[in-house]
Amino acid sequence: MSPRALLFALPLVLAGCAIVAPSYRDASVPIASRAVFDPSRYLGLWHEVARYPVVFENGCTDVTAEYTQRDDGLIGVHNICRKADGTTRDITGTAEVAGPGRLKVRFPSVPFVAADYWVLWVAEDYGTAVVGAPNGRSGWILNRTPTITPDRLAAAREVLDFNGYDLSKLEVLSP
């Protein structure tokens, strides 16, 4: 593994530790993943339009995630972080379907850590999605384009609120 990949992956490991990563949701509120979820429609490029702060995205001004179907049945995951100075970081891993709307995401450079990645909501056209984790240490609003319409953003925020997330901590990156 390259030193650059290690520097990108190491914070992810640290973010998994309760001491380092705060929870952005009230754990007493039940969280629900999308019961009707088609992983094949979820494939493709997504733009992060809002997020809860996580160490491994510090300084990122533009983040994309691309999901592809692999021959082994897993989903390929490729995340790219673009910084204001023009530099980029990326990490590649896999995801497996763990239940309706639930994925387990793994990155080879982050040993022994499989992150719960729950799709809490996805628009009917699969153009906007809300993703979170039961532990509340992460959450994202993703869109197929870099900008999101106000009605989609409002709907996504409602989903986060319904699932116990603290909306005052949400960083909106796109109007």
13 phi and psi angles, rounded to 5 deg = -60, -45
Tell me the per-residue pLDDT of 129-169, one tens digit each, with 9 for 90 and over: 999 999 999 999 999 999 999 999 999 999 999 999 999 99
Residue 44 falls in which region: left (phi positive, over 0), alpha (psi -120 to 50) or beta = left
Q: What is the pLDDT of residue 174?
A: 67
Q: What is the pLDDT of residue 138?
A: 93
Is residue 11's pLDDT more than 60?
A: no
Residues 6+ apart with CB under 8 A from 12: 55, 56, 91, 107, 110, 113, 115
CATH number at residue 158: 2.40.128.20
Question: pLDDT confidence of 25, banded at 50, 70, 90?
Answer: very high
Number of separate domains in the chain: 1
Tell me the per-residue pLDDT of 38-93, one tens digit each, with 9 for 90 and over: 999 999 999 999 999 888 788 898 999 999 999 999 999 999 999 989 999 999 99
Provide the residue range defining the domain that includes 166: 3-172
pTM: 0.85
Tell me the per-residue pLDDT of 82-124, one tens digit each, with 9 for 90 and over: 998 999 999 999 999 999 999 999 988 776 678 999 999 999 9
3-state SS string for 103-159: EEEECCCCCCCEEEEEEEEECCCCCEEEEECCCCCCEEEEECCCCCCHHHHHHHHHH
